[in-house]
Amino acid sequence: MTACPPGHDDNAGQAGAGSGAVGLGAVGLGIVGLGMAARPHVAALRDLAGRVAVRGAFSPSSDRRRDFHDRTGIPVVDRIEALLDDPAVDALLLLTPPATHLDLVRRAAAAGKHVLLEKPVEVTLERSLELVDLMEEAGLTLAVVFQHRFRPVVRRLRQALTRDVIGPMIAASAEIRWWRPPAYYAEPGRGMRARDGGGVLITQAIHSLDVFCTLAGPVAEVGGFTVTSPLRAVDTEDIAAGMIRFRNGAIGTIDATTAAYPGFPERIAITGTKGTATLTGNSLRIACHDGREEVVEGDGPTGGGADPMAFDHGPHRDLIADFADAIATGRTPDSSGRSALAVHRLIDALIRSAGSGRIIRLDQEKQS
């Protein structure tokens, strides 16, 4: 089997920045929010002990602080001001519910702290835009936890697309057929608009849709359909479908749900004039018309089943390292806040289309 030719992409190369840290001193980090999302970050930070120094962690819950400290040994504080006022804290890792992000980032910016923000940016596109503008106006680094960009197979595909291995894109699809059990929705507020801002699109599928946007490029038109299945009592969608036209004229589809038992690896397919590239979970296959083929086999779960935290923390490690190096060197992080707005625009358009029954023309709307 002959491989398609290797590619090179300077931006994709940034994703491995953690393995070649700039050596300008450890970035002091404070963690805010000690729920389920903290687990892969803590594992990643252990790997980066010489590059990132965790100065303290905060949750408004005393029980969560106690449990977190007992499990990790990381010092905790009982007031967020202890992190905001500490000159040894250069940046905050915000792992709180989406509706809290804008207010917390305002406080971080006022204190001169860089921010690594758990997805989504915020609960609405408008609040997301305000948050990104706020950090840019303050001259501070903002990165969003879209760790799927740092998966080795995603970086490899970005390189191949840069080298035009499969030719100009003519079609693309994203399929995210995951499962979340009743216990997942038992946590107060989970799956509800007031806390999460939306359902499967902004809470689960957003990672794969971010990769989709990053690889496939700008979207021009969107048509969407959303429903809530009878499986859970939430006020947000757990099934969504979409049709899209990209700015280059290619067309595509989106299929996203958390109701597909027992959960399946997410799949992104990009078809070009010279071949097709398919990402399935941690695996990649590039098949070219001339018979050349490249297959990268990955293993391990990707968080699509009953345990949403069942995945390798390596991409988190590379993302945090990239964020730290961006602070040290003054460059833009690979998962910058500005770049994260593309997937928010797509999700916002899908929701608006589903509610109005009309096609949303993003290419006719003001982009900021």
Provide DSSP, 126-138.
Answer: HHHHHHHHHHHHT
Residue 361 neighbours by CB distance under 10 Å: 12
- Determine the longest span between alpha carbons in the chain, in angstroms: 62
Alpha carbon of residue 302 to chain centroid: 13
Alpha carbon of residue 251 to chain centroid: 23
What is the CB-side half-sphere exposure of residue 125 using CA atoms within 13 A? 15
pLDDT tens digit at each of 368 positions of the chain: 334 543 333 333 333 333 333 344 699 999 999 998 999 999 999 999 989 999 999 999 999 999 999 999 999 999 999 999 999 999 999 999 999 999 999 999 999 999 999 999 999 999 999 999 999 999 999 999 999 999 999 999 999 999 999 999 999 999 999 999 999 999 888 999 998 899 999 999 999 999 999 999 999 999 999 999 999 999 999 999 999 999 999 999 999 999 999 999 999 999 999 999 999 999 999 999 999 999 998 776 665 655 665 558 999 999 999 999 999 999 999 999 999 999 999 999 999 999 999 999 998 887 76
Please compute Rg for the chain using Cα positions.
Answer: 20
Give yes or no for a contact between 154 and 148, defined as CB atoms under 8 angstroms apart: yes
Given strand 275-280, what is the order of strands in its sheet? 293-296, 283-288, 275-280, 267-272, 169-177, 251-257, 239-246, 219-227, 360-361
Please name which of 360, 36, 346, 356 lies closest in space to residue 201, comparing C-alpha atoms. Answer: 346
Q: Which alpha helices (H) appear in the chain, and where do they start and end?
A: 10-14, 38-47, 62-72, 81-84, 101-110, 125-137, 152-162, 193-196, 200-203, 206-216, 314-329, 337-356
Give yes or no for a contact between 2 and 293, defined as CB atoms under 8 angstroms apart: yes
Cβ partners under 8 Å of residue 113, min gap 6: 30, 84, 89, 90, 91, 92, 140
Q: Is the dihedral of CA 294, 298, 304, 305 positive or negative?
A: positive
In this prediction the pTM is: 0.89
Task: Show the tokens assigned to 326.
Answer: 């961006």
Task: Show the tokens assigned to 278.
Answer: 């398919």
Could you give all domains of the chain from N- to C-terminal order, each with its CATH number?
10-148 (3.40.50.720), 151-306+337-364 (3.30.360.10)
Partners of 245 in the beta sheet?
Answer: 221, 251
